[in-house]
Amino acid sequence: MRSNHLQPEIIDAVITWVNGNEPIYKQKLLHYLTQTTFVHEEAISPTRFGEVGELEFCLVSLFRFAPWLRHIYLVTDNQTPALLSKFAGTDYEHRIHLIDHKVIFSEFSDALPTFNSRTIESLLWRIPGLAEKFLYLNDDFFLIRPVSPENFFHYNKVVLRGEWKKQQPHSLYYRIRMALKAFKQKYRPKKVHVPKHSLAQIKAAQLLGHTENYFYLYHSPHSLRLSTLANYFSNHVEQLAFNINFRFRHAEQFLTTALASHLEIAKNNVVFEDKLRCLQLKLSAQSLRHVKRQLADADRDNNVAFVCIQSLDSVPLLTQNTLFSWLDKRVGSLDSFLANQPVEACIPD
């Protein structure tokens, strides 16, 4: 029988965050954008950098529903979220650590500044003091139910949520269609390809020799082992250097989380899990009525443990208020969370 209560798992969480509304950040983004060619519009969509208060609920959800996390590392570009001041004088103050891009990009300073999450993700394993086991998530992810360490690392194996997919169809019809498309493109101006999420996962699998199938990771907090990435990149420095060379998201990049997953699969060090699920809301493509229905379903379904709310900054105020009201009910605001903590939890170490 396991004795986790005697030897608790040491697991950290890493969140990437940016406040794209800050004037200095906007100026820097515009400056480097004018110096870069062939950037797809999806890579510079304002919603990739927008911030409307999601981080508060992201942090509270981790403290409330995953209290076993040791530290939370917040990776930023020389920015400090104002809400961190609210943690001053509490035990949580010592569990949140700001990590500037310059720290993890030491030795790779030529790649800075970067406005590319895929580039940043490639170096998260270089955070000083980071635990061997850690979760990675963006600030638009939220836990909405209690989770345990075993939901992410089971008997020292990495828990993966996703499915095996073919890299591309191999039917005769598909091959003919692609040949015709290639012929037409030959006589058109150079096209900037969409930096699709699935393509970045495929490229990661191909680095490890997968030519037909790949394990497609669902949107959820990712379970990662520091040593897996450190060992791989120490032997493949050129791949790391290539991936971090793009200031803006690019179709040639691979996804580091997918690379780590395929490395763990190769070592038979994974547990495939399909019980806990993530509700992914793509607000720019969904009506408010549809969103409300999905939120109601998540309230009823105990297997929905994670929510990813994309493009919250780009929707009407009514939709924003609906989402924040729901998050306040499911997760709770930072003020209410801290107010309800026992006195001893607010005494600094």
Q: Show me where the domains of the chain are located.
A: 11-146+222-255+276-346
Question: What is the mean pLDDT of the segment spanning 186-206?
Answer: 75
The amino acid at 111: A
Lowest mean pLDDT among 9-13, 35-39, 119-123: 35-39
143 three-class SS = strand
pLDDT at 50: 46
In the block, residue with structure tokens 């828990």: 159
Burial class (CB in 10 A: 0-12, 13-18, 19+), 233: buried
Q: How confident is the model at residue 327 (pLDDT cuts 50, 70, 90)?
A: very high
Residues 272, 217 contacting (CB under 8 angstroms): no
State the average pLDDT for the chain.
88
Higher pLDDT, 8 or 259: 259
Q: How confident is the model at residue 20 (pLDDT cuts 50, 70, 90)?
A: confident
pLDDT at 196: 84
pLDDT exceeds cutoff 70 at 347: no
From residue 33, how far is each of 120, 192, 241 by CA, in Å? 17, 15, 21
What does the alpha-carbon distance between residue 127 and residue 48 come to, in Å, rounded to a whole number?
A: 23
Tens-place pLDDT, residues 329-346? 999 999 999 998 865 444
Q: How confident is the model at residue 172 (pLDDT cuts 50, 70, 90)?
A: low
43: which 2 tokens?
A: 């890579």
Cβ within 8 Å of residue 156, ≥6 positions away: 269
Residues 128, 103 contacting (CB under 8 angstroms): yes
pLDDT at 61: 98
pLDDT exceeds cutoff 80 at 251: yes
% residues pLDDT > 70 (the chain): 84
pLDDT exceeds cutoff 50 at 3: no
Tens-place pLDDT, residues 28-53? 998 998 877 655 455 444 444 446 78
Question: What is the mean pLDDT of the segment spanning 10-27?
Answer: 93
Question: What is the mean pLDDT of the segment spanning 189-214?
Answer: 84
Nearest CA among 317, 232, 298 for reference residue 53: 317
pTM to 2 decimal places: 0.87
% residues pLDDT > 90 (the chain): 73
Question: What is the mean pLDDT of the segment spanning 12-17?
Answer: 98
pLDDT at 183: 66
